[in-house]
A and B are shown apart, each in its own frame.
Chain A
Amino acid sequence: MLRERESWRHPAWRTAWRLLTPADRILIVIVFLGAAASLIWSGRGTEEGGWVHVEVAGEFHGEYPLTETRVVDLDGPAGRTVMEIHDRAVRITAAPCPNQCCRRRGAVNQAGQLIVCVPNRVLISVAGGAPAAVVDAVAR
């Protein structure tokens, strides 16, 4: 099936594929399974978020408790993003960008989870018990 697709027959792809040893392929599968397992584990094991921390265009916008239902308009460089907190979860209900990535992220409620809208420079992170920026310290 793949052979019919011209791009996969490019010599660079074929040499790259031949370069892999059997151990390499096993390793790739193991890392993939590890990522899937940690996804399941982190989905179960993380704590409930308590606060929503919002940044727009690199600047602090506000912090809101997850327990209170509210709708917040976020005006960024690309237009207006609408954030909604409801049922102890935060979601984006309207976004100005064409790809609607942040809306498709869905509702988020676990500490450490993020909703990011790159065109509108909106960063929404869910924090645990106390309001605090969770992701700032990850090395560049």
Chain B
Amino acid sequence: MNARPARDMARLGLLAGTAVILAVMENQVPRPLPWMRLGLGNLPVLVALLTFGFGPAFGVSVVKVLLGGFLGGGLGGPASIMGMVAGGASVTTMGAACRWSGGCFSAVGVSIIGAVTHQLAQLGVASAYMGHTAVLSLLPLAMLSGLLSGGIIGLLAEWSRRRLTGGEARPVHA
């Protein structure tokens, strides 16, 4: 990868920092059910993907998962491994959706793909880890909550991107 201008590096740093803060903050909010959450930490990752492309977005995601796990405690535990696998799978499919769909998905579609992948990967790792498929009964709920949270995060990401890039309309694929 070519050297990026310092301006872009600074912006990516800000996005990564925001992602860590949002992820840690969201973990403090009590939830009625452990697997239902908005995934606010994914918002900066998506914004990075939309404005800078896959590589930088992957970097932001790695920083988010590592630092978020470090600050939230339990780095290396089963929960953080699930988060790592799910985060990596999510950003990879979102990048693929941006690159190879020819721009037919908006930010909302890309975000839903990422959120649903995140949920599926998490459940996959959970059932593999426990050697028990009972967790898969959460699949319908997980997919619906991924649809909802992915849609909301996608809208927020699109609006943030318009604010950040001065409102110009630009196709999604980078």
Contact = CB atoms under 8 A, between A and B. Distances in A.
B140 A38 contact: yes
B121 to A, nearest CB: 10
Contacts of A116: 32-33
B116 interface: yes
Given A21-B104, A138-B34, A34 B143 contact: yes
A20 interface: yes
Contact of B155 (A16, A23, A47, A113): A16
Contacts of B79: 137, 139-140
Contacts of B123: 138
Nearest to A132: B132
A31 B146 contact: yes
Contacts of B116: 31
A39 B140 contact: yes
A107 interface: no
B147 A28 contact: yes
A27 B113 contact: yes
A35 B134 contact: no
- What is the interface residue range for chain B against chain A? 35 or more
A134 interface: yes
Interface string A13-53: 00010011111100110011011101100100011000000
A139 B106 contact: no
Contact of A135 (B32, B107, B135): B135
A23 B35 contact: no
B16 interface: no
Interface string B31-68: 11111010000000000000000000000000000000
Interface string B75-102: 0001110110010000000000000010
Contact of A35 (B80, B86, B137, B143): B143
Contacts of A42: 136-137, 139-140
Interface string B115-157: 0100000110010011011111111100110110001000100
A21 B134 CA distance: 36
Interface of A: 16, 19-24, 27-28, 31-32, 34-36, 38-39, 42, 46-47, 110-113, 116, 118, 127-128, 134-135, 137-140
Given A27-B109, A138-B123, 7 more contacts: A23-B104, A35-B144, A134-B130, A138-B122, A139-B35, A139-B79, A140-B79
